[in-house]
């Protein structure tokens, strides 16, 4: 069904990846869309800018994008034809103090071989075969069904699984790795650390079903589509979305705060890339009491503090193979990482923090002046922390890269509270826009078949506080837009989203 943009309109508040995905889908369906963004730059958690020194381009939020490859929305949008997604052979790596680093290659077989080659130390020197077979058995069935895994993890948990066998395989592994039985599969320390490093992305105590599910989803993507870095930074993804929106009659208005729904121009639909609490504030008392209470009861999780570095040269990793790893998880053994996450959950800053590191300039020379580098890092901290983590992160990097301090030219630090100032959806520094508990993954932000739709006529929530949750995948926005098209405009078949002239026309859904 085609519309006249003079009579069918929508407003989107917030220009993060979800807000823009919603806007693109609506505009492609023939709706005239206006996006309002309170910041003076567009992109929310996917912006890129010069934070330290001229010529050094840092990602303000997300830096590495496995979910952009796995996302059904971005596949249909044909993101790979619009953005140069650099996908290295190494997806992520995990240095250890007295052992060769664990390395998750894009190839599952290469990962298993590496785990065997750097396996259990023998008293007389050398290594016995490690956990290569165990790692391979854990992930092979999921990697073979990677698209089905992405469909399951990229949808509401209330949805009937389209592929029940794959869902069962995933669930059994989540139960194993999310329980005290998580070490029974492994004999050595490297594979458990490699798994714990990616599980910690959930910013939750481990083991739990939420942390195990996060690890299985991200590691499956690592061995299937890889963990790509967009050339030019995450802003490249945002720019591609904005360009498509504008090409289909939409517009983005930056530096335009919205304090009330009453301020918005008349439209057939309003989609809000905001938190549940912000929805209540924007509604100004118009929401039913029961719904407003549910939104205000929505829980935010623990936080991150971020530090960006401008470097005079590459990070001097003790293990030279790490110089080819764009993403690293620092913190030591599985036990050390679990202890650090327990500290954060208890409201303490860990003395041995987990640190997530991205070194994009080793694969993207547009990010720093010739021969120099940018380094993106964050660590987990208690919700609402005001503590600068520059020294804590520097110390942890130095642990695995002696001499790191000597290559630092400048740094820019953001405490958890400052992360929220940068992006209001990061309440208290919670970059997931809501605690990733099992309940809040099912009831995000409430238990409903259509959790994007609100009781207010024509008003929808499309942020990461709705399914499928955090990440740069655009799916929360796409699902909200799909609901709006169905309920406000009577449209059930989704529009073609690919680049002009593409023969692909996927209209069966956003998966």
Residue ranges per domain, the chain? 9-46+72-83+232-298+433-489, 101-226, 302-431
109 Cβ neighbours under 8 A, 6+ residues apart: 136
Contact at 8 Å (CB) between 152 and 166?
Answer: yes
Residues in the chain: 511
Residues of the chain with pLDDT under 50: 1, 502-511
What pLDDT, on the 0 to 100 scale, is given for residue 117?
Answer: 87
Q: 3-class SS at 141?
A: helix
Task: Name the strands in the sheet holding 32-36, side by side, starting at the edge strand that comes first in the sequence.
Answer: 251-253, 32-36, 9-13, 269-272, 459-461
What pLDDT, on the 0 to 100 scale, is given for residue 69?
Answer: 87
Nearest 5 degrees, angle CA 471-CA 474-CA 477?
Answer: 115
Distance CA 498, CA 82 (A): 10
What pLDDT, on the 0 to 100 scale, is given for residue 2?
Answer: 52
What pLDDT, on the 0 to 100 scale, is given for residue 505?
Answer: 34
Contact at 8 Å (CB) between 467 and 450?
Answer: no
CATH topology for 9-46+72-83+232-298+433-489?
FAD/NAD(P)-binding domain (3.50.50)
Both tokens of residue 299? 């829980």
DSSP-assigned beta bridge partners for residue 112: none
Tell me how crowded residue 402 is: count the other CB atoms within 10 A of its CB: 12
Distance CA 211, CA 202 (A): 6
What pLDDT, on the 0 to 100 scale, is given for residue 5?
Answer: 54
Q: How far apart are the first and last CA of the chain?
A: 21
410 Cβ neighbours under 8 A, 6+ residues apart: 52, 53, 56, 309, 310
Distance CA 421, CA 62 (A): 16
Contact at 8 Å (CB) between 143 and 63?
Answer: no
Distance CA 381, CA 305 (A): 7
> Of 307, 306, 230, which Cα lies nearest the Cα of 67?
230
pLDDT in tens, 453-481: 999 999 999 999 999 999 999 999 999 99
Distance CA 315, CA 93 (A): 14
What pLDDT, on the 0 to 100 scale, is given for residue 4?
Answer: 55
DSSP-assigned beta bridge partners for residue 13: 36, 272
Per-residue DSSP letter, 52: S
Distance CA 427, CA 203 (A): 14
Q: Give 478's Cβ-side CA count (13 Å radius).
A: 28
For residue 368, CA distances in Å to 47, 63, 85, 414 come to 16, 15, 18, 20
Per-residue DSSP letter, 453: B
Q: b vs e for 353-372, b when ≥16 Cβ sit within 10 Å of the residue's Cβ?
A: bbbbbbbbbbbbeebbeeeb
What pLDDT, on the 0 to 100 scale, is given for residue 504?
Answer: 33
Contact at 8 Å (CB) between 405 and 345?
Answer: no
CATH for 302-431?
Answer: 3.30.519
Both tokens of residue 294? 């549910």
User: Which sign, positive or negative, has the C-alpha torsion 203, 204, 205, 208?
Assistant: negative
Per-residue DSSP letter, 97: S
Both tokens of residue 272? 């809000």
Per-residue DSSP letter, 494: P
7 Cβ neighbours under 8 A, 6+ residues apart: none
Q: b vs e for 260-270, b when ≥16 Cβ sit within 10 Å of the residue's Cβ?
A: ebeeeeebbbb
What does R_g of the chain's alpha carbons equal in angstroms? 22
> Of 368, 302, 408, 359, which Cα lies nearest the Cα of 95?
359
């Amino acid at each position: 069904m085609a519309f006249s943009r003079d009579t069918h309109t929508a407003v989107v508040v917030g220009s993060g990846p979800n807000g823009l995905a919603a806007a693109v889908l609506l505009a492609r369906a023939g709706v005239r869309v206006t996006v309002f963004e309170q910041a003076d730059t567009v992109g929310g958690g996917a912006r890129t800018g010069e934070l330290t020194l001229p010529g050094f381009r840092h990602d303000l939020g997300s830096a590495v994008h496995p979910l952009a490859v796995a996302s059904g929305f971005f596949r249909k949008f044909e993101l790979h034809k619009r953005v140069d997604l650099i996908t290295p052979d190494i997806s992520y790596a995990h240095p250890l103090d007295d052992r060769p680093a664990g390395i998750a290659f894009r190839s599952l077989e290469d990962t298993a071989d590496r785990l065997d080659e750097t396996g259990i130390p023998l008293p007389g020197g050398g290594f016995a075969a490690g956990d290569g077979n165990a790692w391979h058995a854990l992930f092979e069935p999921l990697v073979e069904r990677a698209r089905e895994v992405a469909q399951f993890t990229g949808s509401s948990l209330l949805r009937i699984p389209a592929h029940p066998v794959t869902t069962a395989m995933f669930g059994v592994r989540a139960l194993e790795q999310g329980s005290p039985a998580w070490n029974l599969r492994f004999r050595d320390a490297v594979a458990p650390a490699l798994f714990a490093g990616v599980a910690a992305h959930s910013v939750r105590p481990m083991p739990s079903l939420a942390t195990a599910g996060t690890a299985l989803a991200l590691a499956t993507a690592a061995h299937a589509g890889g963990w790509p870095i967009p050339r030019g930074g995450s802003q490249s993804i945002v720019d591609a979305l904005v360009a498509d929106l504008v090409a289909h009659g939409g517009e983005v208005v930056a530096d335009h705060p919205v304090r009330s729904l009453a301020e918005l121009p008349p439209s057939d639909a309003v989609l809000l890339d905001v938190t549940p609490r912000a929805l209540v504030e924007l509604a100004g008392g118009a929401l039913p009491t029961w719904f407003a209470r549910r939104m205000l009861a929505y829980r935010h999780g623990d936080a991150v503090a971020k530090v960006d570095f401008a470097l005079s040269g590459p990070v001097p990793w003790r293990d030279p193979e790490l110089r080819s790893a764009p993403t690293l998880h620092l913190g030591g053994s599985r036990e050390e990482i679990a202890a650090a996450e327990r500290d954060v959950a208890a409201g303490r800053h860990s003395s041995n923090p987990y640190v997530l590191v991205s070194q994009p300039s080793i694969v993207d020379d547009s990010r720093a002046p010739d021969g120099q580098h940018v380094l993106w890092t964050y660590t987990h901290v208690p919700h609402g922390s005001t503590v600068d983590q520059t020294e804590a992160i520097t110390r942890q990097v130095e642990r695995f890269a002696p001499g790191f301090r000597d290559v630092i030219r400048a740094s820019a630090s953001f405490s958890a509270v400052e992360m929220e100032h940068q992006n209001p959806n990061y309440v208290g520094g919670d970059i997931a826009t809501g605690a990733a508990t099992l309940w809040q993954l099912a009831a995000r932000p409430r238990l409903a078949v259509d959790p994007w739709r609100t009781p207010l006529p024509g008003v929808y929530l499309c942020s990461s506080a709705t399914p499928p949750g955090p990440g740069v995948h655009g799916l929360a926005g796409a699902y909200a837009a799909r609901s709006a098209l169905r309920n406000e405009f009577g449209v059930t078949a989704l529009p073609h989203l690919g680049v002009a002239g593409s023969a692909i026309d996927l209209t069966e859904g956003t998966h």
